[in-house]
Amino acid sequence: MPFSEFTTTNVSVAVIGVFILGFSSILTGLNFITTVHRLKMPEMKWTKMPLFVWALYATAWIQVLATPILGITVLLIFVERMFGIGLFDPAKGGDPILYQHLFWIYSHPAVYIMVVPAMGVVTEIIPTFARKHIFGYKAIAFSSLAIAFAGSLVWAHHMYTSGMSDTAVLIFSFLTFIVAIPTAIKVFNWVATLYKGSIVIEPPLLYALSFIFLFSIGGLTGLILGSAGTDIHVHDTYFVVGHFHYTIFGGTGFGFFGAMHYWFPKIYGRMYNKKLAVISWAILFVGFNILYFPMLVIGMMGMPRRYYDYLPQYHTGHLISTIGSWILATGLLLMFYNLFKSIKHGEKVGKSPWGAATLEWTTPSPPPTLNFVGEPKLTRGPYDYKGVEEDEQYT
Amino acid sequence: MSNIHKDYIGSKFGMWLFLFTEILLFGGLFILYSTYLHKYPAEFHLAGKELNVYFGGGNTVALVTSSLFMAMSISAIQKGDKRLAIIFLGITLALAFVFLINKYFEWGAKFHHGIYPDSPTLLQRPKGEIIFFGLYFVMTGLHGIHVLVGASIIIYVLFMLKNEKVNKDDFVLLENTGLYWHLVDLIWIYLFPLFYLIV
């Protein structure tokens, strides 16, 4: 009997939890879409919005469109286990592959829900610290939507070995390659923004730059998995685990850390210890690569995922990986220590310590109730740095 | 700046998005239905004949009529007629219960014949028929839950009408309830032919 019908664990309670979380995901997406449409200040046209908002807008659409499929999938798990209907049970005429389809129709777009906001963060950080207008505003905005759209049509690339038809494999492989295009558009635009900019190296920028590096490795290994032929070789190996962590940890994780370091002074009105932030970033970055890069290598050698035991030839890789995990954990602890300590004890800063051009930096830090003192005025574009005054000092 | 923010269009905008997600929720089941119909056309045909078209048809009439009264209730409150709005909404609610009671008898008759998920009688049938009745119970069951949820919301709105929290100038709650109710109706309009008529 397939796992979609039966396991020895109490999945029913867990899926109820997932169903409730799904509601929160849907309502968040719904709220963000409605807010972007209805609460934008009237003079802020769509092409004047910060690209982070564009990224959240695209993400919100994925949340609204994909999460209901997760809802019905977990609901079906629940009724199958309670009533034994048999919709995925071959003995009763059901098809377990249909369950896999339903599962991945949500669960692949879910990774874009995780990474597209991080891309938005990187898009904010890079022009701020390059002191240069973002290169390719519209291309970046529309690539977010394109990722949301194309990313919703590639789910079955998780199922090349499931026994579905070769035609389906071919189509989903092709569509997977299509998603790489808008992603690459973003990467090229970020790099082009840095080109000939007056770059100031600050902790948020370091996180943004590592995002580009790590996510590119994650993305390119994704293409190896997306090609039907090579996937058969590395399917269900550590290569997949390595790829996943380069995209989700190197992408979402580092984007999230970058966001925390970028908006921290805005949220708390205080600055963390920048030197310590750089040190913890460096430890984190080194530890990350020592932890995850060997996984790509032993995966290529054939180390299967989901086993705690392994053959001797994989020993060295696992050893290096384990040491990397200690380094990574050290970096994480140091980073969180620095941030938590600075919430109360950091040096006080003014409203715009980075000299960024978006609206949130015109309001005091931390922002007052209702965010702005009086109606905010839009005097410049989100990446128009001419005449922006840095306001490091607390007044 | 004020922190009181009422956005009539925003409320309806959000509601429409929510309705999309409801259609997608059922969409997963419609995908299963179409795949299995393609796989087991003959069994679906035979099993579909066992459903009572009069029960299903009666329920369709009940729901469509309830939608009419829902729309009339909104028109009434727009014109400021609170009493009429409450009466029309009350009829909508009554028809929702007609639907559910009808469904109770319909399912009960099937149970009586030993047809329910995982039942010994059903498991002796061909695979396609097991799947047909499986989908029948899951899809009409999920729809039934939606009717129940809709009815609960209608009861809540009835009280809001009575307290004049929903009134001539602020009736978006009633309107959104109406949108939800029409969706429940719409989904049934697809379920009815899929199970009772076309197979």
Q: Domain for residue B171, yes or no?
A: yes
Percent of chain B whose pLDDT exceeds 90:
95
CB contacts of A31 in chain B (<8 Å) are 14
pLDDT bin (cut points 50, 70, 90) of residue A112 is very high
pLDDT bin (cut points 50, 70, 90) of residue A394 is low
Q: According to the model, what pLDDT value does residue B159 have?
A: 97
Contact B3 A79 (CB under 8 A): no
Per residue in A127-177, pLDDT tens? 999 999 999 999 999 999 999 999 999 999 999 999 999 999 999 999 999
Put simply, whether A102 touches B (Cβ < 8 Å) is yes
A231, A221 in Cβ contact below 8 A?
Answer: no
Residues A104-125 have a mean pLDDT of: 97
A213, A293 in Cβ contact below 8 A?
Answer: no
Q: According to the model, what pLDDT value does residue A9 have?
A: 87
Contact B24 A69 (CB under 8 A): yes
Q: According to the model, what pLDDT value does residue B3 have?
A: 66
Per residue in B100-153, pLDDT tens? 999 999 999 999 999 999 999 999 999 999 999 999 999 999 999 999 999 999
Residue B2, pLDDT > 70, answer no
Q: Domain for residue B75, yes or no?
A: yes
B22, A393 in Cβ contact below 8 A?
Answer: no
CATH number of the domain where residue B105 is located: 1.20.120.80
Percent of chain A whose pLDDT exceeds 70:
99
Identify the three-state secondary structure at position A348.
strand
Per residue in A201-259, pLDDT tens? 999 999 999 999 999 999 999 999 999 999 999 999 999 999 999 999 999 999 999 99
Q: According to the model, what pLDDT value does residue A393 have?
A: 65
CB contacts of B8 in chain A (<8 Å) are none
Average pLDDT, chain A: 95
Q: Name A44's Cβ contacts closer than 8 Å, sequence gap at least 6.
A: A378
Domain that holds residue B154: 41-197
Q: Domain for residue B54, yes or no?
A: yes
Q: Domain for residue B3, yes or no?
A: no
Interface test with A, best of B8, B24, B35 (most A CBs within 10 A): B24
**Tokens matching residue A332:** 């994480």
Q: Domain for residue B65, yes or no?
A: yes
Put simply, whether B30 touches A (Cβ < 8 Å) is no
Put simply, whether A26 touches B (Cβ < 8 Å) is yes
Alpha-carbon gap, residue A181 to B42, rounded angstroms: 45
Put simply, whether A25 touches B (Cβ < 8 Å) is no
Residues A108-113 have a mean pLDDT of: 96
Of B10, B28, B126, the CB nearest to A102: B28
Per residue in A2-36, pLDDT tens? 777 778 888 999 999 999 999 999 999 999 999 99
Put simply, whether A19 touches B (Cβ < 8 Å) is no
Number of domains chain B is built from: 1
Q: According to the model, what pLDDT value does residue A387 have?
A: 84
Q: According to the model, what pLDDT value does residue A107 have?
A: 95
Q: Domain for residue B9, yes or no?
A: no
Put simply, whether B117 touches A (Cβ < 8 Å) is yes
Q: Domain for residue B5, yes or no?
A: no
Q: Domain for residue B99, yes or no?
A: yes
Residue A395, pLDDT > 60, answer no
Alpha-carbon gap, residue A332 to A275, rounded angstroms: 15
Percent of chain A whose pLDDT exceeds 90:
91
**DSSP one-letter code for A156:** G
